Amino acid sequence: MHDLNLKIGLSGQAIANVTEENTALKFGSGTVKVFATPAMIGLMENAAINAVDTLLTDGYASVGTYIEIKHLAATPIGMIVMAKAELVEINGRKLKFKVEAFDEVEKIGEGLHSRYIVKLEDFLNGTNSKSNKK
């Protein structure tokens, strides 16, 4: 295993504009044209990726393994949403993040997200081998 070069407190951000394309109606996760919970979760995961993946050795990446999120408030089309992730725990290759999301007015989401560091080639080979099993 390579040296991770990661430390508690690393943080990352990700930003999205709320458009027709990332509403609950478009995602099929609701019937209202507001920022979709799956879109918020994706933005939170992206913030976690931004916190650590550039520090990983070439050929390694992190993959999402767990998410526990509260969606606290709706955000209309036309607003900007920002997600923040802070690395709060490192256990070998397992990483845990505190994640939050904010629109231009208030906090809209919060929770925990875990990622696992994988050797990309091995991960993809294992995943692609599923095609041979169907």
Which residues participate in catalysis according to the annotation?
37, 45, 71
Rounded Cα distance between 129 and 125, Å, is 6
Name the strand (E) or helix (H) holding 104: none
Rounded Cα distance between 94 and 113, Å, is 11
Strand-pairing partners, residue 87, are 97
Strand-pairing partners, residue 70, are 110
Give the phi and the psi of residue 4 in degrees, each rounded to 5.
Answer: -75, -30
Asked if 48 and 99 count as a contact pair (C-beta separation under 8 A), the reply is: yes
Rounded to 5°, the CA angle 18-19-21 comes to 120
